[in-house]
A and B are shown apart, each in its own frame.
Chain A
Amino acid sequence: MSEPSPPDCLNNFTVKLANVNGTGSASANTLLMKSIFRMGVPVVGKNYFPSNIQGLPTWYEIRVSRDGYIGRSDGIDLIVAMNAETYRRDLESLSPGGYLIYDSTWPRSHLLHREDVNILGVPLSGMCNATFDGVRARILMKNIAYVGVLAALLEIDLEVIAGLLKDTFASKPKLVDANLQAIRLGYDYALEHFDCPLPIRVAPLDLTAGKVMIDGNTAAALGCLYAGATVGAWYPITPSTSLMDAFRSFCARHRTDASTGERRYCIIQAEDELAAIGMVLGASWNGARAFTPTSGPGISLMSEFLGFGYFAEIPAVLFNVQRAGPSTGLPTRTQQADLLSSAYASHGDTRHVLLFPADPAECFELAVAAFDLAERLQTPVIVMSDLDIGMNDWMCPELTWDDDYEPDRGKVLDAGALEKIERFWRYEDVDGDGIGYRSLPGAHPNGAYFTRGSGHNAAARYTEDSGEYVEVVDRLRRKWDTAATLVPEPVLTGSGRASVGLLSFGSCDGAVSEALARMQDEGVSLDYLRVRAFPFSESVRAFVDAHERVFVIEQNRDAQLRSMLITETGVDPRKLESVLCYDGLPMCYRTVSDAVQAALARGAAA
């Protein structure tokens, strides 16, 4: 035995499960994570998977954190090495004093050796082959069996696991028995052969009441359902695909007439992203709430239509579940590198409203807000999620719904209003907020107008007149100023009186919040502003102005948020120092605290 693990690892450790993709490990990993969650212990899961269906390495990281930290952890305390191809890497990733569990059915690879860690062999395949029939069942149950091993080692309540299995397989009781049998195999073997529990272990807490474990794409789909979206058009692209899958299954359940089978929704799988956004614009023009989920490459393809939506002033809701890299890049890794390409998508003077959810709960909340804003502002709104939020299971506050909510359909003249109207000019700034009144096709003959992407005047008539063109784009600029007063305000953590501030957005939040708390423990007090929308509210500029130094933390190479802050708010660029993470992995608090503390040690900003 080597060095014992540090003593503070009760409910405070990270487990990594190294598997081959396509072997059904996801259900085993979810079972493990959720069992810990149901014991009242905060937990978060990160899936590192390949762009592949079967045979390549895949990892699942489960961080158990009694402090409720949800960012990626900075070390691995226990690893289940189920993939021979990655043994060496997996062993190397283990923190000193950690534990490695491997399938000892076969002789141990010479790669599996390190003096400073504990290596525990369990004959998982051997036990499962002796117990279960069928190749597929044996492979699946081997994964479930390691959950049993971990249950013994980490002291996870078997009753909780059994309860979870019963909930999961409510309609297939036979599966419950088989899974429990596999759990038992691993559990009993571990009890018999190792000192259980390990110092890293779980003890029940009551910190997960009022919380759910949900991924952002599912939560965003629920937002679309609750916001009353009826038309969804999309083209499959990782990592956004599960959003429409979830919307479809929610609609099947909640929007289908039980007796007739009639659907109160229409989902169209488009031939490409160009068509998907065209469909959304067509449906929104016609007065339905419509949306499309996509990722960076899809936004590139949608750019022409996004400019059309901006100029012809048609609502649209997009979800950009960002992935890593230019071109195809790393389609199964996370990044926040589409800020500029989304904010200014399309040619000419074009700009779009962006919303930045920080977790799945905000995906739900901001999805609903996106529909309200798109219709109020008559323009495309892009919800900027990412793979980390969209596809990983996050522990977040339970989603809540207010039955008094009424959708903001914006300025739409109905038949009655059109009947009485003296003059209907679609693009006339009647109220001085830059937003005209629109009419829906079919409502009334007085509402007819021509929607076009070519030059048009306040009356929606074709024009090539310079003055009329300038009038329209200047009004669009006024509308943009209105947007800045309507979008969700940023969230401030701290007194607001510190001299140094952190400024970030989206999925950086877990890492930034953790860094903030840890630095606070070390006596470094900072303010933190989390931006939730573009255009930036006035308070964003005020935050920068009020601090001597501001660290702008984001997940891209080119400091895109920093660029936007400089060009859009006019703040002093010398105040803004970048902390960047762009390796495709979710951010860890150390990225933030190391960079900030090093910079603070160096002294004032250049």
Chain B
Amino acid sequence: MSFMTKPKVAHPGLRRNELGLTRRDYEGGMSTLCAGCGHDSVTASIVQACFELALPPHRVAKMSGIGCSSKTPAYFLNAAHGFNSVHGRMPAVATGANAANRDLTYIGVSGDGDSLSIGLGQFCHAMRRNLDMVYIIENNGVYGLTKGQFSASADIGTKAKRGEVNEQPPIDPVLTALAMGGTFVARGFSGDKEHLIPLIKAAIRHRGFALIDVLSPCVTFNDHEDSTKSYAFTRQFYHPAVHTDFVAPASEIAAEYQAGDAVEVILHDGSRICLRKAREDYDPTDREKAFGYVKRRMREGEYLTGLLYVETEGREMHEINRTVEAPLNEMPFDSLCPGAGALDGILSRYR
């Protein structure tokens, strides 16, 4: 928690990206979340990913709903417009925004309450439309701002800080996304930025709906013993199924892969994702198998992480709609209004 204004100081030696911007140019306001909150690590990962991709910050639109997670867009990309909407309704606002301007990069940050309870319907329908956006769920199994109620992602048997035990099954964002036709389904851990940053970069470059469920412990209300969303528990039970390397267009692949254990996926802009299987029998390009595998491992108490499923052939909302390439909000008025001459013809039906 801080009340300070973040000083804008950039060390001359800071690394600069292709746009000549430093990492500091991708930061936002000072976080007002609790010290040690997992969400701040996600924020830092978003900053790093956008910096490394050299996104023009003002060409990003930051979308969120309501909750601790939804505050975080204020903490990254100060030069981008942000939209902190109403609880659970960020997908609708992002849909409309994208409908109006398909040229921006939409990064949505939501939480497990925002997306899996009040906003479950909108979350599902945004995937059904394959809306072109990054959708990060900062998942901590608990309502923070209202002080510690279980969310819909709380596991059976997990204990609240005040002692109550959850007995309802969780709604898992990854399984939900796989079932709803999500075209990019990933899980990460806020305590593992090394894996999270390439996931975010790949999600930004994916054309279509890219979900990243980030296990992001709540240090204040859900980091105790008997919680299944604590740092300690998550560190113990999260297991990468797939290691994800993001390779920008025209870059050399640095790592060497043994034949057979890596899958290369080429994204629309020419970026490549190299998926190294940590589990030999895992196939991140087969939706049904991925669903079964993730589900079975969850039953064993394991949270698989990585880019768990990806398909690049899915048509995103505008492709389905056959919208013009140029953003609708830039259409010249005379290309939209048929004019007085046409009106006479239109009215002939009504005479």
Contact = CB atoms under 8 A, between A and B. Distances in A.
A272 interface: yes
A453 B88 CA distance: 13
Instruction: Give the most central of B61, B96, B104: most A CB within 10 Å.
Output: B96
Contact of B343 (A285, A286, A400): A400
B99 A441 contact: no
Contacts of A442: 58-59, 61, 81, 101, 103-104
Contacts of A552: none
Contact of B99 (A222, A254, A288, A448): A288
A228 B89 contact: no
A274 B99 contact: no
A233 B93 CA distance: 11
Interface residues of B, number: 57
Contact of B333 (A279, A406, A448): A406
A286 B121 contact: no
Contact of B81 (A278, A283, A288, A441): A441
A227 B329 CA distance: 13
A270 B122 CA distance: 9
B109 to A, nearest CB: 13
B80 to A, nearest CB: 6
Interface in A207-250: 211-214, 218, 222, 225-231, 233, 250
Interface string A329-365: 0000000000000000000000000000000000000
B335 interface: yes
B74 A233 contact: no
B84 A399 contact: no
Contacts of B254: none
A188 interface: no
A226 B321 CA distance: 21
B58 A287 contact: no
B351 interface: yes
A229 to B, nearest CB: 8
Contacts of A254: 338, 342
Contacts of A288: 99-101, 328-329
Interface string B323-337: 111001101010111
B97 interface: yes
Interface string A439-457: 1111111011111111000
Contacts of A255: 336
Nearest to A460: B82
Contacts of A272: 121
B33 to A, nearest CB: 13
A283 B74 CA distance: 21
A391 to B, nearest CB: 15
Contacts of B98: 282
A405 B91 CA distance: 35
Nearest to A233: B96
A517 B83 CA distance: 54
Contacts of B84: 450-454
Contacts of B59: 442
B85 interface: yes
B324 A231 contact: no
B337 A228 contact: yes
Contacts of B351: 37-38, 211-213
Contact of B100 (A227, A287, A398): A287
A275 B101 contact: no
B97 A285 contact: yes
Interface string A461-484: 010000000000000000000000
A250 B346 contact: yes
Nearest to B343: A401
A482 B104 CA distance: 34
Interface string A283-300: 111111010000000000
A441 B91 CA distance: 17
A212 B347 contact: yes
Given A231-B99, A450-B74, A275 B92 contact: yes
Contact of A448 (B79, B325, B340): B79
A210 B121 CA distance: 49
B74 A271 contact: no
A21 B42 CA distance: 58
A271 B127 CA distance: 12
Interface string A355-399: 000000000000000000000000000000000000000000011
Contacts of A451: 81-84
Instruction: Give the most central of B94, B325, B329: most A CB within 10 Å.
Output: B329
B57 interface: yes
A276 B91 CA distance: 11
B15 interface: no
Contact of B331 (A230, A452, A454): A230
A264 interface: yes
A97 interface: no
Interface of A: 37-38, 211-214, 218, 222, 225-231, 233, 250, 254-255, 257, 261-268, 270-272, 274-288, 290, 304-305, 308, 398-403, 405-407, 439-445, 447-454, 462
Interface of B: 57-59, 61, 73-74, 78-86, 89, 91-101, 103-104, 121-122, 124-125, 129, 317-318, 321-325, 328-329, 331, 333, 335-340, 342-343, 346-347, 350-351
List 9 tightest A-B contacts by C-beta distance, closest first: A278-B92, A282-B96, A279-B96, A288-B100, A441-B81, A282-B93, A283-B96, A286-B100, A282-B97
13 contacts: A222-B346, A226-B338, A264-B331, A266-B323, A271-B124, A278-B86, A279-B93, A283-B96, A285-B97, A400-B343, A407-B333, A441-B58, A452-B84
Given A231-B96, A271-B121, A281-B85, 8 more contacts: A230-B328, A230-B336, A264-B328, A264-B331, A264-B335, A305-B86, A450-B73, A450-B81
